Every structure is written in structure tokens, then in C-alpha cells.
Structure 1
Amino acid sequence: MVTEHAMDTEGARIIDGKSIAAAVRGEVAQRVAELVARGIQPGLDVVLVGDDPASQVYVRNKDRAATRAGFRVRTHRLSAVTSQAELEALVDRLNADDEVDGILVQLPLPRGLDSDAVVRRLDPAKDVDGLHPFNVARLWMDRPGLVPCTPAGCIEMLDRSGIEIAGKRAVVLGRSLLVGKPIAALLLARNATVTICHSRTPDPAAVCREAQILVAAVGRPELVRGDWIAPGATVLDVGINRVETADGAGRLVGDVHFEEAHARAGWVTPVPGGVGPMTIAMLLSNTATAAANRRGRTSA
């Protein structure tokens, strides 16, 4: 059966991340409206240090999506020469401000700043990126909490596409704190049998071929070829890589060779338009959850 969020094409079914993200954003907007009706205006504060072009785009998109969903949004733009003490002082002020429900410090930070120290300084209840050690611990203990946005979006895509997780053999390619490790924890919590592949794994292709659910998150363009994929497997491509083209315009590709995966897999996410849109959608969901939890209210 093809769900409303899948494109039925010859070859693998394409999981439509744009459609799923739009549905999540709509649900979040309803949650925000319910909070506002109770006198609670959820607030998201974004901290952007420096002038990295990619970070500028990401923050602009997050601001726009959050505003459309009904959040009060403030962006704090700091220069690239901001000191560690100045950045941490801003985080302290946001932690203490009761109108701030979610704090997002855009990573990576400019060279010379300690991002780990900044993340540890966040109030865990406002850490809508889910990176504070308190939230990481709750994730691995299978306790409710704020979960990193991209991994949470991957699980949401599987659920809304009707793809069963329990009992499946899952392989995660990549062990980053942002994606690889948290998606492994989420899959384990849903009763998958999980293997993590990384740069020291002998013959990762052989391991990936055992996967019924394969998550690629290594940041290497089209590393995963068709012969890495078991027939009928579900492939979630988290990678977003820009590669050069003959005309100089460049194009975006994932960590998976899409055409080869499409010919072999049962389900696959495209790049762009797959996992990417889910990150902002789950950020908004986390912020709504943080607002409801912090202010002593619940929201569906």
C-alpha cells in the first residue's frame, strides 16, 4: 500500500519528506494556537555567531518556518569575533528569560569557540536541538525528552510511511553525535536490531547489505551504491553534499547514489526533498513540546 506521503513510481517508493514536513508543521501550528489560546506565547530564540553562508540560510529558513507556525521568534546575530564569555553570557540570559521556551545555537561555531561548553550551558528544558548531555542521557535511557531534530525526523518519516521498525535489522552508516548515534538510539527504542558502521568498519558494504532499514549519514557524496543495498530495503539518506557540475552550477546529492538505490530499494528518500525538510519541522515540534512542558501544560 502506498501512503499519502509516498510517491508510487517504477522502482522504489519515494518517501516525500516535503509532504511529511508540511503535515508536521501544520500539526505544530495547531498546538501553538492552542497554547496561545491559553495565554502562552511559545518563544524560540536562535543564536547565530559569525557570517557562515550556509548557517545564514539555515537560520533564515528556521525563522520563517517558526514565525509561520505562530512562534515568537528572535534571532541574536553575533560577530565572528564574539568571545566565549560573551556567548555564554547571552545563553545565561536566555536561560533565565521565562518568555524563551526554546534556544537554538546554530552550529558550527566560528573557530576558537567551544561549542561543547555552550551546549552544556543550555537549560536542558530549552535545548530544542536535543544536544545537552541531560537530553542525550534521557534518549539512551528511553525516557521522554527533547530529541535531536534530524534523527527524530527520520523516525517520523518511517512512521508516517507505514514502515515497520520493530524486529527489523537496521544499519546506521555514521556515528556522529548529531545523527548517527541518536538515530541508533531511537531505532533501538523501537525494537530494531541496530548496527553502526563507521570509518573503521571492515567492509561496510557487506554490513549495509544486511540492512532492512539503512540510514546513511556520513557526508560523503554518493558513497552508498546500489550493490550496498538489500533488495526491498528502506533507505534514509541524511547526507546533503554539493558536487561540481560541468556548467559550474553544482548540484546537491546525498550519501546514497539515488538512481542505483531507486532501482534496488523498496523505499528511498531523495536529496533534496527527503530528510532535509524534516529537520526544521521537528525543531518546531520540539519547541512546542518545550513550551508545553516548561509552562506546566500538556499538548497533544
Structure 2
Amino acid sequence: MDEHHRPWTGTDMTARVIDPATLAQAFRTEVSADVVRLSAERGRPLRIRGLLSQAEGPAHTYATWAQRGGASVGIDVVLSHVAEGEAAAAVAAANADEDVDGIFCYYPLAGPLDDPWLRELVDPRKDVEGMHSFWSRMLYENRRELDTGSRAILPCTPLAILKLLGEAGLGGSTAQAPLEGVVVVVINRSEVVGRPLAAMLANDGAEVISLDVSSTQLFEPAIGRHAHGVRDSDEDRRSALARADVVITGVPSRSFPLVGADEIAPGAICVNFSQFRNFDDSVHDKASVFIPRVGPMTVTMAMRNLVRLAAL
């Protein structure tokens, strides 16, 4: 990794901690101006229909944050509590409602077997999460614009992490491959965050090592070809972490063996997007940047996605 990418090359300092709320505020200023214009064109506020089945827990907390985040930029986030058997009908009703500009599903909604199908029922033109296969296919094929020239919608949390990495100083001078030469470890391979995040990083030129409990995959950078490649790897956690410029974790378990300072490279950027702590406190003495959470930026990227969808 060259000096264009690494934000710090010192040997004796405590990691800079980035609060995602601060960066989110800068993006909200931009989003607010677009919301005012688009709301005036419609003669009403932009509106998101949030579908929620839980009265408490992480999904309920996320929905509450989204409602507050929407209000902060002038977007109405209207929450509807639905039973498992009513989720598909609720999505269909929101799709058909001309006064609904975006749909936000707070999973789990219909259960582990049906939730992936629910993502396919959401009209892509109202998909503020960017999880419909229409948008996923564009991401994995590294197609960044629609035929109309409008920007493709990207999933909220991976997009939030990329923006936070930029704030951390990660990036080079090459527009086509700004992350060329960067090695990233992602410990999470979910279809919601880990896999699309690895693809987005590799499409920007990074070498991404994706770790989960049973296997390792290497996302090869999209340099000299249109999109990234994926292959199995036999690299283990210790080897991968030792050479990573960036370590991103999202393991939703209290039993996850915490990533410690003895495992990471000096000056690494560490990002935790799990609701649980995935890093040992010791990493602060070896990392250059530590990002302890992503939530406020995720909500802001969802509102940004809504503005882009409303302008299609």
C-alpha cells in the first residue's frame, strides 16, 4: 500500500476515532436541499413507508433512527407494524401507493425463509435499501449508471462504510481504481452487508479477503476487467489480518473472538458495524483510525437513496 492510501504512517499514537454522526450531518445538508426541491415539485413531503414486525429489538431501534433521520432532512418516514403473514400484502400496498416514494423493510419481517423474497417484491424504483436484485445485479456487474445516465442505487450500510473510509483518508488519485493496492479484510459475508461491501471495494480496485466461520473467499480487484472476480482461498484469519490495510467486522455475536492489536498491521483502519463489539480495546494503540459504528451514516445513505429514486 502506498502513501496515497494510508492515512497514517507513524509508530506511536492512539487511533483517531471517527464519529459517523459528524459525517452524516454533512451529507444531510446536501440531502435536505434536494428534499426541499423534490417536495415542492410534488406538492407534499417525500415519504418512506417503513414496514416493521417487532415492537422492540434491533429492527425497532433501526426504524426509530430512520424516522428521526428522515425528519431531520424533511422526509416523512411512516412506520407500519405488520404481522408476518401480512408482510407481502403490505409491500404490495406500498408499491401501489402514489404518495409513497420509498419503502424500507426492517428485517426480520416475514421470517428467515421469506425475507429474501420480500426484497424482490419491493418495486426497485422505491427500494431505498438498494437490496432488490435489479440493483444487486448492477452492483455485481459493476454497472454504475442506468441507461438514462442516473446513478445506480447502492445498499445503505456498504455505501455508508465506503463514505466513512473516505473520511478516514483511504483512497488514491486514480478515479478508475481509487483503492488499487489496498488490502481489506471483511469478516461478514451476509447478502445484506458483507458480500455487497466486498464487491464494492473490489470494484474500486481493492483486494478483499472475505472471512466467515466456514471459509475464505478472495474478491479480486476489477483492474484490467470490467468487474471484480471471486474465488475460494485457503488464507486464514491471522494471515489475512496481518497484511490488511483495512479490517471491517460485522459479526452479530457476543462469542466472536475479538480482533486484537496483536493481529492487525500497524496503521490499519478498523471498522465495526455489528451491534456487538468485535474489536479488543488494544487495537486503539496500533490502528490509525477506529470507526466503532456505522448506523447514523446508514440512515443518511437511505435518505440519499430516496432522493435519487425520487429524481428518476
| TM-score using structure 2 length | 0.79
* Higher mean C-alpha deviation, range 51-60 or range 119-128: 51-60
Deviations 1:84-104 (A, max 9, x none): xx3212211211222222101
Distance 1:237 1:50 in 2: 24
| Counterpart secondary structure, 1:38 | helix
The equivalent residue for 2:243 is: 210
Question: Is 1:95 the counterpart of 2:95 in the alignment?
Answer: yes
Distance 2:282 2:140 in 1: 34
Which of 181, 194, 198 is residue 180 of structure 1 equivalent to? 194
AA matched with 1:263 = D
Distance 1:110 1:205 in 2: 38
The equivalent residue for 2:104 is: 104
Distance 2:76 2:55 in 1: 23
Distance 2:32 2:240 in 1: 41
The equivalent residue for 2:298 is: 279
Question: Is 1:70 the counterpart of 2:70 in the alignment?
Answer: no
Deviations 1:230-259 (A, max 9, x none): 111111111222xxxxxxxxxxxx2111x2
The equivalent residue for 2:287 is: 265
Deviations 1:198-232 (A, max 9, x none): 11246312211111111112224462111121111
| Counterpart secondary structure, 2:262 | helix
Runs (5+) with no aligned partner, structure 1: 1-8, 242-253, 294-300
* Higher mean C-alpha deviation, range 113-122 or range 168-177: 113-122
Distance 2:190 2:259 in 1: 17
Question: Is 1:223 the counterpart of 2:237 in the alignment?
Answer: no
Which of 15, 18, 21 is residue 18 of structure 1 equivalent to? 21
Superposition CA RMSD, Å: 2.0
After superposition, the Cα gap between the structure-2 partners of 1:127 and 1:256, relative to the gap in structure 1 and judged at 3 Å, is same
| Counterpart secondary structure, 1:228 | coil
Deviation at 1:282, TM superposition (A): 1.1
Deviation at 1:156, TM superposition (A): 0.6
- Identical-pair percentage: 31
The equivalent residue for 1:247 is: none
After superposition, the Cα gap between the structure-2 partners of 1:112 and 1:149, relative to the gap in structure 1 and judged at 3 Å, is closer
Runs (5+) with no aligned partner, structure 2: 1-11, 145-151, 172-178, 216-234
User: Residue 66 of structure 2 contacts residue 77 of structure 2 at CA under 8 Å; is this kept in 1?
Assistant: no
The equivalent residue for 2:223 is: none
Distance 1:53 1:172 in 2: 25
User: Residue 12 of structure 1 contacts residue 264 of structure 1 at CA under 8 Å; is this kept in 2?
Assistant: yes
* Higher mean C-alpha deviation, range 139-148 or range 229-238: 139-148
Which of 138, 155, 160 is residue 153 of structure 1 equivalent to? 160
Deviation at 1:122, TM superposition (A): 0.8
Deviations 1:129-160 (A, max 9, x none): 12111111111111232222111100011123
AA matched with 1:151 = P
List structure 1 segments (4+ residues) > 4 angstroms apart after TM superposition: 110-113
| Counterpart secondary structure, 2:311 | helix
The equivalent residue for 1:42 is: 46
* Higher mean C-alpha deviation, range 189-198 or range 214-223: 214-223
Distance 2:112 2:201 in 1: 35
- 1:70-149 paired onto structure 2 within 5 Å: 70-79=74-83, 82-83=84-85, 86-109=86-109, 111=111, 114-144=114-144, 145-149=152-156
User: Residue 50 of structure 1 contacts residue 110 of structure 1 at CA under 8 Å; is this kept in 2?
Assistant: no
Distance 1:31 1:187 in 2: 28
The equivalent residue for 2:213 is: 199
